Amino acid sequence: MDKLLLTVAKRVGLGLITLWIISLLIFLAVEMLPGDIATEILGQMATPETVASIREKLGLEQPLHVRYWDWMLGIFQGDFGQSLATDRDVMDMLDSRLVNTLYLAGFAAAVSVPLALALGITAALYRNSVVDRAVSMFTLSAISMPEFFIAYVLILFVAVQLGWVPSMSKVEVGMPFWERLHMTLLPALALTFVTCAHMMRMTRAALINLLSSSYIEMARLKGLGAWQVIIHHALPNAWAPIVNVIAMNLAYLITGVVVVEIVFVYPGLGQLMVDSVSKRDLPVVQAASLIFAATYILFNLVADVIAIVSNPKLLHPK
């Protein structure tokens, strides 16, 4: 137990160091964006004196390291600052957008994870059959296509030609659950196609590696059915790599929604970040980027811990 806690503590410490480095990179990258927020606020006809005055008011004349230090101090206090474009509190702007992104990611995960497990188990059970080849062809096709292409194909066939769902996901606060579900169906399906393939391939590979084991042969000799062997004997021992790839794909569902949100005009955190980049709204871009980075690091940490718990041999690397 002490060994496990020490390993988890090391992973947490490494994650915090990684997050700090990422925060520094985010701050520097945002600072290098072209354009000027003062000119964006005042317009192109503003005089140099007016631009200088607004830059001083916003604190943009301070040295880079001072602004980074102030930003980090604010984050430790739960304050991401004020939006330079709207003068609103950044946390207030992120609140509803983050909820929308988490809802979309949760919807996609609720569809993709069970579907990937079912397809992976079926492909492993009937490996080298027509079913296995069909599932593999479907997943490889999904992996090879980018999100925006899948999104536009879904819009063309499901929204335009069939007319089942709207092409734009206009989600609003207080919208009824079933209406929100209907509005987010297309972006959730686009994310499902992208993430389901990776989880299915890992499930299939992990199970096939175990099906040739001696204890699996013994279970078959006892007269157990194929599905009983898979569910009760093979799958529990294959959880470590499967759960690991599931956690990684859940991280992607949250951090990789930017393109999908833009295509479907979905009011999520990714859409807000892109809009803020165009407005040169630095605090919003920095906060959204840091949330995405922290989410990805957190899910990586969860995946590592689950893998260690599922396979204690990882506590004693050679």
Task: Delimit the domains of the chain by residue range.
Answer: 99-282
Q: Write down the pLDDT at residue 38.
A: 66
**Which residues partner with 82 through β-bridges?**
89
pLDDT computed for residue 207 by the predictor: 80
Specify whether the CB–CB gap between 124 and 135 falls below 8 A. Answer: no
Q: Is 222 exposed, middle or buried (0-12, 13-18, 19+ CB in 10 A)?
A: exposed
User: Which tokens in the block code for residue 24?
Assistant: 């520094």
Q: What is the pLDDT of residue 35?
A: 64
Question: Chain centroid to CA 161: how far?
Answer: 30
Predicted local confidence at residue 314, as pLDDT: 58
The residues, any chain, with a CB within 8 Å of residue 97's CB and separated by 6 or more, are 267, 268, 269, 271, 272
At 310 the pLDDT is 67
Cα end-to-end distance, the chain, whole Å: 19
| pLDDT on residue 1 | 57
Q: Would you say domain 99-282 falls under CATH 2.60.40.1220?
A: no
**Mean pLDDT, 10 residues at a time, over the chain (318 residues)?**
74 86 84 67 66 68 78 82 78 85 89 89 83 83 81 87 82 79 87 85 82 73 72 74 82 82 87 82 84 86 76 59
How many residues are recorded in the chain? 318
The DSSP call for residue 317 is: -
In order of 142, 150, 155, 156, 158, the CA distances from 162 in angstroms are 22, 16, 10, 9, 5
CA–CA distance, 291 with 75 (Å, rounded to integer) = 11
Q: Find the largest Cα–Cα distance for the chain.
A: 87
Q: Measured between alpha carbons, how far is 103 from 271 in angstroms, rounded to an integer?
A: 14
Report the alpha-carbon distance of residue 182 to residue 237 in Å, rounded.
38
CB atoms within 10 A of CB 249: 25
